[in-house]
Amino acid sequence: MDRRSLTVIIATVVLRLVLFTAFPSLPNLLTNRVELSTPVTSFKRLQEGLFLYTHGLSPYDGGVFHQAPLLLAFFTTLPSNPIVVYLVYILSDVLSAYSLIQIAASGVSVSTPYHTSSRKSSTWPPWAVAAAFLFNPFSIATCIARPTIVFTNTVILTAIAKGVQGRGVAAVLALAMASYLSLYPVLLLPPMVLLAHDSLPAVKKKGRSLGSFAAVLTAVFTVAAAVLGALSWGITGGSWEFLASTYGVHLLLPDLTPNVGLWWYFFIEMFDSFREFFLCVFQLHLAVYLAGLCLRLRKQPLFVITTLLGISSIFKSYPSIGDTALYLSLLSLYRHIFPLMRYTFFVTSTLLYATLLGPAFYHLWIYAGSGNANFFYAITLVWSLAVTVLVSDAIFAVLRDEWETERPEMKGKEIVQI
Amino acid sequence: MRLLSWPSITQLLLAPLAVASASDYNDYSENLLLKSLPGNSILASFRFVSNGTFDSHHSVFPRSLAQILQQSQTKELHLKFTLGRWDAEQWGRQVWDGRTAGGTGVELWAWVEAADDSEADARWTTLNNALSGLFCASLNFIDSTRTIRPVMSFQPAGHHSPERLERLHLLHGTLPREPVCTENLTPFLKLLPCKGKAGISSLLDGHRLFDAQWQSMSIDVKPVCEESGKCQLQMEQTVDMVLDVERSLGKKDSPVPKPPPIEQLSCDQEKPYAGGDSCFPLSGVTDLPWSLSEMFGRPVRGSCPLAVVPTEEATHVCVNIAEKRSIFVSQGSEERKRSPELRCFTLHENLDFDIVLPELSPSTNLLLTPPPVYASRSLTGHGQERGGIQAVLNNPSSNSTVEFVYLESLPWFMKPYLHTLSATISGKDDGNIIQDIYYRPALDRKRGTQLEVRLRVPPGETVLLNYEFDKAVLRYTEYPPDANRGFDIAPAIISILDSSSQKSTFSIRTTSLLLSLPTPDFSMPYNVIILTSTVMALAFGSIFNILVRRFVGADEVIGGSLVSKIRGHVMAFVAKKRRAGGDKPKTE
């Protein structure tokens, strides 16, 4: 880590500490925001789960706590001092930034064994990527609000950092942890295998076909997930109750608390007889992008991971701003394709619009009573639309960049898609 | 001869029946207590007790209820219909130690005999559905989300053998929103042997009962065993109500309540007035005159012939009023004075009975006994996202500590955070207030929250019990038709514990609460489905559009590739058709 990265990290640690300590009511204020805390990540619910767990009640035999049992075990070992909790969250963000620095330093975003971008020189240095993550207001707000999505994000970034170093087993272990914490990262397994395989040093790659490599890593992933499940079984006193109360909630959406995603209002308004059908459709919709992206963007598995994270930050059952912050920080690795994007102004202004009006409309609905649920719903639609446009525009730019590498003479010319 | 034989034959025929009945008549008793309360209010407390067995054919115990209890294996039943709030600050302690009063709406708890929980649940459902039909109440809506199994608050009141006690399951359900009305009173009266036609039950009229400031109807069934081991079922039916004398008397002149004209108001002359049209009304200056027939619309229609013959101990009507106040009763009744403030009367079987109390000025009130605890509960916070509950529990006693169980049964869509539960005395918690907690968290759409807290309040102190909760958003089909009215939260039940036996000796209910939840827009399910689907289709379409097509320079495509391509395909197709048509051999 160079001196600039270190400066960035120290600056953000200080910034977060100041925010935590100088505004004592800020953490609880942000914890109560629906944009930052969802029923499956909320810190307040984690506290309730911890309280029940330490008093010998099963937190999974109730409708409040839906988070992984290992989090309970982890937080019970911590001293109850709030400063320690703040430091844990700050440390988690620092680890995320460290992983981002490793990913950026590896240069996988601009050159892979199959593709080297012609715009290689315009990419951001590692410290800038770390800064783009650490100084992003969405990341800061997420860190202060203390949802457990922070840990999921850290583990995902660690997995990617191991992946770009070609350490497949470590990457997949981290990914198993991320999936254990919040289920949807399981979708990242195929591109992660591709990424790890591509990043293997040429010596090791010899005689190792992608098929056998993938089989080994999938086995490792399954075993790791099973071990984590068994550990949780032990932590919760030999009961499988936690499965239905954590992953069941991700899949079946019993809690319809508003969030920035599209699911909650849809399933409030859904007719009872079609509920199961649309739950299946919505879950399948998330998985449907996987194959297409892996095939078409085979040359850049890191970008497949980035895009899948972007898509799941819109379409997963309980998304929050923290998911979008992760996508944006990974997108900052692709600084070189920004000039090829067509709707940057539209996306930026729409995201700003939704960020500013979202809390206002939520207030009008819940507190002022002068608006109804449609106000906030409309904002979540705008937000989702903006992120959607950003995701598809980034795919377009990356594909164009690939195409221009093949045909350098077409740089800067008008193109059509056929 | 002929004239004489008829009565003798009738007597002969009726003699065995009379003998059989005489023993059964002893199984039913009824009495009415009238007590004057401050502020020109009267508490009227009716009590009917009948004993019987399941298999007796000529018992006063109602057969309809006995069959339900037998079918559902219910060994002890408590059913309460209540309206209004008992104002403990003004009226003091409740009658019968609060045993007969329920929370607002309908409250039901029963000990059901069953081998395990699921069997108990099935029998509980049977019981609820049957009682629902019997009492014309929505008791069938007491499902798993409204049922709790209290641990510390209730103890069986009847006699149960130890081996049976082990198989008994206590289930408790509430319907705080149920409007108690005449249709519940009619089946209630039908359970009485005299069916409201004679005896003190003839006073019970829906128009008067449901006009009361507070009223509670209750049915308690329990087994009662003698020393010899002979057991009977005892059913105690009570109707308690607090009547406002002024309002009841006003009904005589104008059935529609309206404010009295200003000339008839007695104004507080000590206050300064800006004009002649303003008035601080004085109330409680005089004790207004009233009579039974004015208060209830009719006198008592004789005594119920099936009731037990009154004795010195058991009389029909007792009046508890200040010693100074005079009382006149109609002919045929017998007065039995117990104490200067309690006068009791027995009724004549065939004569109407009425009581008249003249006006008394200045007003004299009975000395009120305070309840063991003053309790009130309210919602805190604002907005429809989250809130809190605060219960204020005051021990009025100057020398004794009171210990009680505070029981909350909350619906699943109210999600309390137990880690925020705090009990403080003037802002401080010495760690000695909360003795014990039993908590069963809610499961979405399956069961509600059950919270039992055992508290100890030192003499003269006030405890604030606080906790926070989140409000869930429901599916739009789960909201009632008037969703913005809010949802009723069942009253908290406070059971005062006896310090030595740890058994409940007194019970108090708080009022019910109205919780407003965030509501979606009920008019637009189609719009939401369409708009959300559009965003998803847009994402799917735009991403796959980019993924499946390849790039070509704009100048490499000549003449708009798509149009020319389509034209080419169409031309080729037409040409092929033509060729095929031309080649076809013509067969006739």
Residue B561 with chain A: CB contacts under 8 Å: 418
Q: Are residues B330 and B441 in the same domain?
A: no
B441 occurs within a structural domain:
yes
User: What are the phi and psi torsion angles at B150 (to 5°)?
Assistant: -60, 145
Beta bridge partner(s), residue B414: B471
User: What are the phi and psi torsion angles at A123 (to 5°)?
Assistant: -75, 160
By CA distance, what is B418's nearest residue in A? A48
CA gap A335, A344 in Å, rounded: 12
Residues of chain A by 3-state class (helix, strand, coil), percent to 5: 75, 0, 25
* Residues of A (265-284) whose Cβ lies below 8 Å from B: 265-272
Selected for mutation to probe chain A from B527, B535, B549 (highest A CB count within 10 Å) is B535
Query: A268 vs B474: CB contact, 8 Å cut-off?
Result: yes
B580 occurs within a structural domain:
no
Query: B475 vs A272: CB contact, 8 Å cut-off?
Result: yes
Q: How many CB pairs under 8 A join A and B?
A: 169
**In this predicted structure, what is the pLDDT of residue B95?**
87
Average confidence (pLDDT) over A281-310: 95
Selected for mutation to probe chain B from A268, A277, A286, A304 (highest B CB count within 10 Å) is A268
On the question of pLDDT at B26 being above 90, the answer is no
Binning pLDDT at 50, 70 and 90, where does residue A70 land? very high
B364 and B389 Cβ atoms separated by less than 8 Å: no
What's the CATH number where B446 sits? 2.60.40.740
On the question of pLDDT at B586 being above 60, the answer is no
By CA distance, what is B558's nearest residue in A? A416
For A43-66, what is each residue's pLDDT tens digit? 999 999 999 999 999 999 989 999
B546 occurs within a structural domain:
no
Q: Are residues B329 and B427 in the same domain?
A: no
Residue A269 with chain B: CB contacts under 8 Å: 476, 520, 524-525, 528-529
Residue among A19, A12, A18, A306 nearest A131 (CA): A12
Cβ count near B574 (within 10 Å): 10
Q: Are residues B384 and B335 in the same domain?
A: no
Selected for mutation to probe chain A from B151, B470, B556 (highest A CB count within 10 Å) is B470
Query: B472 vs A257: CB contact, 8 Å cut-off?
Result: yes
User: What are the phi and psi torsion angles at B542 (to 5°)?
Assistant: -70, -40
Q: Are residues B180 and B212 in the same domain?
A: yes
On the question of pLDDT at B584 being above 60, the answer is no
B573: which residues sit within 8 A by CB, 6+ positions away?
A: none
Torsion of CA A108, A110, A112, A114, to 10 degrees: 160
A219: which residues sit within 8 A by CB, 6+ positions away?
A: none
Residue B525 with chain A: CB contacts under 8 Å: 269-271
For B554-577, what is each residue's pLDDT tens digit? 888 765 556 667 776 787 788 777
On the question of pLDDT at A34 being above 80, the answer is yes
Instruction: State whether residue A23 sits within 8 Å of chain B by CB.
Output: no
Residue B536 with chain A: CB contacts under 8 Å: 262, 285, 315
Q: Are residues B170 and B93 in the same domain?
A: yes
Residues of chain B by 3-state class (helix, strand, coil), percent to 5: 30, 35, 40
Query: B546 vs A373: CB contact, 8 Å cut-off?
Result: no
A303 and A109 Cβ atoms separated by less than 8 Å: yes
**In this predicted structure, what is the pLDDT of residue B77?**
95
Among A52, A63, A389, the residue with its CB nearest the CB of B415 is A63
Q: Give me the residue label for tokens 């039995």.
A: B336
In angstroms, the separation between the Cα of residue A334 and the nearest Cα of chain B is 18
Average confidence (pLDDT) over A111-129: 91
**In this predicted structure, what is the pLDDT of residue B11?**
42
Domain ranges of chain A: 3-406
Between strands B105-113 and B168-175, the pairing is: antiparallel
**Neighbour-count burial for A295-321, b at 16+ CB within 10 Å, e otherwise:** ebbebbbbbbbbbbbbbbbbbbbbbbb
Instruction: Kindly give the residue spans of alpha helices, DSSP state H, lying in B266-397.
Output: 292-296
B124 and B171 Cβ atoms separated by less than 8 Å: yes
Domain membership of residue B432 as a residue range = 374-515
Query: B528 vs A266: CB contact, 8 Å cut-off?
Result: yes
Instruction: Kindly give the residue spans of alpha helices, DSSP state H, lying in B210-366.
Output: 245-253, 292-296
**In this predicted structure, what is the pLDDT of residue A141?**
96
* Residues of B (527-566) whose Cβ lies below 8 Å from A: 528-529, 531-532, 535-536, 538-540, 542-555, 557, 561-562
Q: Are residues B310 and B441 in the same domain?
A: no
Q: Are residues B274 and B301 in the same domain?
A: yes
In angstroms, the separation between the Cα of residue A381 and the nearest Cα of chain B is 7
Residue B368 token pair: 């009120």
Provide the 8-state DSSP code for B428: B
Q: Are residues B276 and B402 in the same domain?
A: no
**In this predicted structure, what is the pLDDT of residue B18?**
38
B523 and B408 Cβ atoms separated by less than 8 Å: no
Classified as helix, coil or strand, B473 is coil
Between strands B41-52 and B231-244, the pairing is: antiparallel
Q: Are residues B293 and B415 in the same domain?
A: no
Query: B519 vs A372: CB contact, 8 Å cut-off?
Result: yes
CA gap B163, A113 in Å, rounded: 79
Selected for mutation to probe chain B from A52, A76, A249, A265 (highest B CB count within 10 Å) is A265
B286 and B363 Cβ atoms separated by less than 8 Å: yes
Instruction: State whether residue B444 sits within 8 Å of chain A by CB.
Output: yes
For B158-197, what is each residue's pLDDT tens digit? 899 889 899 999 999 999 999 999 999 999 999 998 888 8
Residue B474 with chain A: CB contacts under 8 Å: 256, 268
Cβ count near B572 (within 10 Å): 10
Residue A62 with chain B: CB contacts under 8 Å: 441-443
Cβ count near B4 (within 10 Å): 8
ipTM above 0.90, yes or no: yes
One-letter amino acid for residue B534 of the chain: T
Query: B520 vs A258: CB contact, 8 Å cut-off?
Result: no
Query: A417 vs B531: CB contact, 8 Å cut-off?
Result: no
Cβ count near A13 (within 10 Å): 17
Positive or negative torsion for Cα A20, A21, A23, A24? positive
Percent pLDDT > 90 in chain B is 52
Percent pLDDT > 70 in chain B is 91
Q: Are residues B386 and B347 in the same domain?
A: no
Query: B443 vs A62: CB contact, 8 Å cut-off?
Result: yes
In angstroms, the separation between the Cα of residue B385 and the nearest Cα of chain A is 6
Instruction: State whether residue B521 sits within 8 Å of chain A by CB.
Output: yes
Instruction: State whether residue B256 sits within 8 Å of chain A by CB.
Output: no
Binning pLDDT at 50, 70 and 90, where does residue B22 land? very low
B55 occurs within a structural domain:
yes
Query: B441 vs A266: CB contact, 8 Å cut-off?
Result: no
Query: B553 vs A415: CB contact, 8 Å cut-off?
Result: yes
Examine the fold and report which residue of B326, B357, B388 is the final residue of a domain before the chain moves on: B357
**In this predicted structure, what is the pLDDT of residue B229?**
77
Q: How many residues does chain B have?
A: 588
**In this predicted structure, what is the pLDDT of residue B582?**
55
A253: left (phi over 0), alpha (psi -120 to 50) or beta: left
- Total domains in chain B come to 2
For A330-362, what is each residue's pLDDT tens digit? 999 999 999 999 999 999 999 999 999 999 999
Query: B419 vs A264: CB contact, 8 Å cut-off?
Result: no
Residue B384 with chain A: CB contacts under 8 Å: 366-367, 369
CA gap A273, A276 in Å, rounded: 7
Query: A289 vs B543: CB contact, 8 Å cut-off?
Result: yes
A77: which residues sit within 8 A by CB, 6+ positions away?
A: none
Q: Are residues B353 and B379 in the same domain?
A: no
Query: B441 vs A63: CB contact, 8 Å cut-off?
Result: yes
Sheet architecture: strand order including B434-440: B434-440, B449-457, B402-410, B493-497, B504-509
Residue B146 token pair: 């409204």
Q: Are residues B378 and B353 in the same domain?
A: no
Instruction: State whether residue A111 sits within 8 Å of chain B by CB.
Output: no
Q: Give me the residue label for tokens 């510390």.
A: B152
Residue B542 with chain A: CB contacts under 8 Å: 388-389, 392
CA gap A172, B498 in Å, rounded: 62
**Neighbour-count burial for B349-365, b at 16+ CB within 10 Å, e otherwise:** eeebbbbebeebeebee
* Residues of A (386-415) whose Cβ lies below 8 Å from B: 388-389, 391-392, 395-396, 399-400, 403, 410, 413-415
Q: Report the mean per-residue pLDDT for chain B.
A: 86
On the question of pLDDT at B252 being above 80, the answer is no
Classified as helix, coil or strand, B105 is strand
Binning pLDDT at 50, 70 and 90, where does residue B502 land? confident
On the question of pLDDT at B50 being above 80, the answer is yes
Among B529, B536, B555, the residue with its CB nearest the CB of A285 is B536
Instruction: State whether residue A311 sits within 8 Å of chain B by CB.
Output: yes
By CA distance, what is B521's nearest residue in A? A373
Give chain A's count of helices (H) and strands (E).
19, 3
Query: A256 vs B518: CB contact, 8 Å cut-off?
Result: no
Average confidence (pLDDT) over B446-457: 94
A114: left (phi over 0), alpha (psi -120 to 50) or beta: alpha
In angstroms, the separation between the Cα of residue B265 and the nearest Cα of chain A is 42
**Neighbour-count burial for B241-275, b at 16+ CB within 10 Å, e otherwise:** bbbbbeebbbbeeeeeeeeeeeeeeeeeeeeeeee
Residue among A136, A158, A160, A33 nearest A91 (CA): A158
A384: which residues sit within 8 A by CB, 6+ positions away?
A: A260, A261, A262, A314, B535, B539
Average confidence (pLDDT) over A108-132: 91
CA gap B118, A119 in Å, rounded: 69
Percent pLDDT > 70 in chain A is 100
Lowest mean pLDDT: which of A113-127, A179-193, B49-63, B552-566?
Answer: B552-566
Query: B441 vs A64: CB contact, 8 Å cut-off?
Result: yes
Among A32, A271, A366, the residue with its CB nearest the CB of B518 is A366
Among B383, B439, B531, the residue with its CB nearest the CB of A57 is B439
Query: B535 vs A384: CB contact, 8 Å cut-off?
Result: yes
**Neighbour-count burial for B170-179, b at 16+ CB within 10 Å, e otherwise:** bbbbbbbbbe
Examine the fold and report which residue of B308, B325, B357 is the final residue of a domain before the chain moves on: B357
B560 occurs within a structural domain:
no
Residue A52 token pair: 């029940």
Average confidence (pLDDT) over B39-67: 85
Binning pLDDT at 50, 70 and 90, where does residue B273 land? confident
Average confidence (pLDDT) over A255-266: 95
On the question of pLDDT at A136 being above 90, the answer is yes
For B126-152, what is each residue's pLDDT tens digit? 999 999 999 999 999 999 999 999 999
Examine the fold and report which residue of B302, B330, B357 is the final residue of a domain before the chain moves on: B357
